[in-house]
């Protein structure tokens, strides 16, 4: 899975291709939204891990509260925390790379994304019951 600087496009592709085999990506509910410069979508199949995929497509950084910006009026909500499972790997500086290294737990209420950066977060199905 991709993280850190100097990550190749091939390694990003390989990690995302692996994730696509998950049932949530195969046939889970799909809902998308835009918040500022960040396009994101949520996919989750009943009984399987949920995923949030976000990328900043704009020219300026954005901080997104994914809890407040849940797509489709919260029909497919996200939990308070998500685990980093893949990134674009193009984070500037050691602090940014460390904040989004694999398996890091991220607060969904405040995710800062620079232009061109992308992140995939996951959570277990029971996380939404909490």
Q: What is the rounded CA–CA span in Å between residue 105 and residue 85?
A: 10
Read off the CATH number of the domain in which 25 is found: 2.60.40.1180
Tell me the per-residue pLDDT of 89-115, one tens digit each, with 9 for 90 and over: 888 777 788 888 889 999 999 999 999
Q: How far apart are the C-alpha atoms of 22 and 108, rounded to whole Å?
A: 21
Instruction: Give the start-end residues of each E strand in 25-70.
Output: 29-35, 38-44, 50-56, 62-64
Residue linked to tokens 């990506």: 25
Do 108 and 121 contact (CB within 8 A), yes or no?
Answer: yes
What predicted TM-score, i.e. pTM, was given to this entire model? 0.84
Does residue 2 form part of some domain?
no
| 1 in any annotated domain | no
Query: What pLDDT band is residue 38 in, cutting at 50, 70 and 90?
Result: very high
Query: Is residue 69 situated within a structural domain?
Result: yes
pLDDT digits 0-9 by tens, 71-92? 655 566 789 999 999 998 888 7
Give the range of the structural domain holding residue 119, as residue numbers without chain letter. Answer: 9-123
Asked if residue 36 lies in contact with residue 121, where contact means CB atoms within 8 angstroms, the answer is no
Closest to 3 in 3D by CA, of 99, 115, 112, 113: 99
Number of domains within the chain: 1
């Amino acid at each position: 899975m991709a993280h850190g600087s100097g990550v190749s496009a091939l390694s990003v592709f390989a990690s995302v291709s692996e994730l696509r085999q998950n049932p949530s990506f195969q046939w889970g509910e799909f809902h998308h939204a835009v918040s500022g410069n960040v396009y994101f979508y949520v996919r989750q199949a009943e009984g399987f891990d949920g995923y949030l995929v976000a990328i900043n497509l704009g020219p300026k950084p954005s901080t997104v509260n994914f809890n407040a910006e849940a797509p489709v009026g919260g029909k497919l909500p996200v939990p308070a925390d998500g685990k980093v499972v893949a990134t674009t790997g193009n984070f500037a500086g050691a602090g940014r790379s460390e904040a989004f290294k694999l398996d890091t737990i991220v607060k969904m209420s405040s995710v800062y994304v620079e232009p061109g950066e992308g992140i995939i977060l996951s959570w277990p199905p029971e996380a939404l019951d909490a």
